[in-house]
Structure 1
Amino acid sequence: MMHIIYEDPAVAQWGLKNFLVPLGGDIIEVVSPFKTDTTAGRLLEKRGDGGYMIIMQTEDARKRREYIEAKGLAKVIWGYDHNDTVCAQYHPKGIKGGMMPELDSHEPGPNNPTPLKSRFSPWHACGSDHKVYYPGMKRSEHLRLEGCVLRLQPGDAGHEAAARQWEEIFGVARSRDLLAFTNARLGFIPGREGQPEGLVSITVGVNSKEKFDALRTRAKQAGVYGNGCIEMCGIKWFFSLTGYGESAAKL
């Protein structure tokens, strides 16, 4: 069962509606335009359903923004710096992978002493009251984001170069052609004619055989399971059974 932990009325200023679904301490945001001529709407018209943004948490988004702007690596198109939170959204043009990157940070405090290390730490995009959305995160603690894959634009086969670019811009550690976040991995595949750049797949770990089997059953009943994955919102969702050693199943 999917648990929605927050709907943000503030996104209406961009002609969007949204809701947030937790994968343990990680979050999937689903947005849908209700007005014409929105950025998200134009992207949907161009590509169809699919990924829109990648939101990353870092230790100091303000310091990283200063570095990015000083080097001319990317252009900030929206953001804010308020109280203990810094947020910066970057224009996707020139950044390989076809996604709008966002870099956020939370300053440590009494209610959030280790923002990058605590799996269920407060997150500004979920609203101001951690007590409201924390239970929803805990209910999905058997789920964990493991990784995602971005397709490059047609004609671009430089998946390692893409990883190097993200490493340079956003400071994410790289292992050859994979970006090694603290909680997941981000990879790239070569572009393909007739296929738009952008998010191809998301992999989620499921640390419960009972919930893994139930998820597979519901996906089959809904008619979205096939070819070893769930196809939904224009994205391939791969689920792997974790915590059972090398014999773990895959969905």
Structure 2
Amino acid sequence: MPALPCIRQVVLLVPDLDEAITQCRDAFGHTSGTRDPESMTELGFEHEVLSFGDTFLELCAPLTADSSHGRLVERRGAVGYMLVVQVDDQQAVVDRAAGLGIEPLFAQDFEGNRISQWHPRTLGTLAEVDQVDPPESWHFAPRIFDAACTDVARDVVAADLASPDPEALARTWSQVLDMPLADPTTLPLQHTVLRFVPSDDVTGLVAFDVAAADPERVGESLRLCGVDVRFVADATVPA
């Protein structure tokens, strides 16, 4: 069961889903993924989720070019889109955010879980903060776990959010999640880390780290669907 709060999923927005799936499956060794066509079509996307051990990478492509998402990928190509953090008490997050004058776009029950989404203007990227019951489960369970592949990457273990004011953004996340900063731009969560990097042009989710299954790959990096992916040491494997 994941200790909370933690990064549970990263979401990339891509112009061509099939091309993105091929790139990501090749990079991480997956032979299959998880889809929910009906629900995602209602939201204006087609998608696929690639599963690691306890974390997930979702690829989303807009169904129409004239949507806000379609215009975004027309301008920028593939981009980091959303960060999903799991917590043990979503209402406490909403209450702490309210104390800062911040409100979610929505907070509601969904299939027995509590989900909320937050505007990029407040959390630096489109963000989802979810409370899942039981905590070791996730959306689309159990089939999302059946498609897991950890041959190349064990899990997503860190993410970078770019901002013109990374220290202010880090403080906001720290207060909302009630977790102390390690330094002005680093927020350790449980077994995962949020980092805040300076940028005046590209903002939002710009990179994430994965725990390398092969220690020989530690230090490698690649550019994948608009973000940087870094292979780091797997903290669960003794040195």
Say yes or no: TM over 0.5.
yes
Change (3 A) 1:83 1:235: closer
- C-alpha root-mean-square deviation of aligned residues, in Å? 2.6
Return the index of the structure with the highest Cα Rg.
1
Aligned counterpart for 1:164 among listed residues 142, 161, 171: 171
Of residues 223, 227, 232, the one that matches 2:224 is 232
Q: Please list the CA deviations of residues 102-123 of structure 1 after superposition, one character each: whole Å capped at 9, or x if unmatched.
A: 110023xxxx3xx1xxxxx210
Question: What is the CA-CA distance between 1:55 and the residue it aligns to?
Answer: 0.7
Moved more, 178-187 or 162-171: 162-171
- Indicate the structure whose relative CO is greater, using CA pairs within 8 Å and at least 6 residues apart: 2
Structure 2 counterparts to residues 57-136 of structure 1, below 5 A = 57-69=86-98, 71-74=100-103, 76-82=104-110, 84-95=112-123, 97=124, 99-107=125-133, 112=134, 115=135, 121-124=136-139, 127=140, 129-130=141-142, 132-136=143-147
Match of 1:203 in 2: 209
Q: Give the C-alpha shift of residue 41 in structure 1.
A: 2.1
Whichever residue aligns with residue 90 of structure 1, its letter is: W
How far has the Cα of 1:190 moved from its partner? 1.3
Alignment deviations for residues 67-98 of structure 1 (CA, whole Å, 9 cap, x no partner)? 43454213x22442146310011121243x3x
TM-score, scaled relative to structure 2: 0.75
**Which consecutive unaligned segments of at least 5 residues does structure 2 have?**
1-28
* Partner residue in 2 for 1:140: 150
For this pair of structures, how many residues does the alignment match? Answer: 206
Provide the identity percentage. 23
4+ runs deviating over 6 angstroms: none
Counterpart residue type for residue 55 of structure 2: D
Instruction: Tell me the residue number matched to 1:218.
Output: none
CA distance in 1, matches of 2:59, 2:194: 20
**Using a 3 Å threshold, how does the CA distance of structure 1 residues 187 and 209 change in structure 2: closer, same or farther?**
closer
Q: State the TM-score, normalized to the length of structure 1.
A: 0.72
CA 1:37–1:229 in structure 2 vs 1: closer, same or farther (change >3 Å)? same
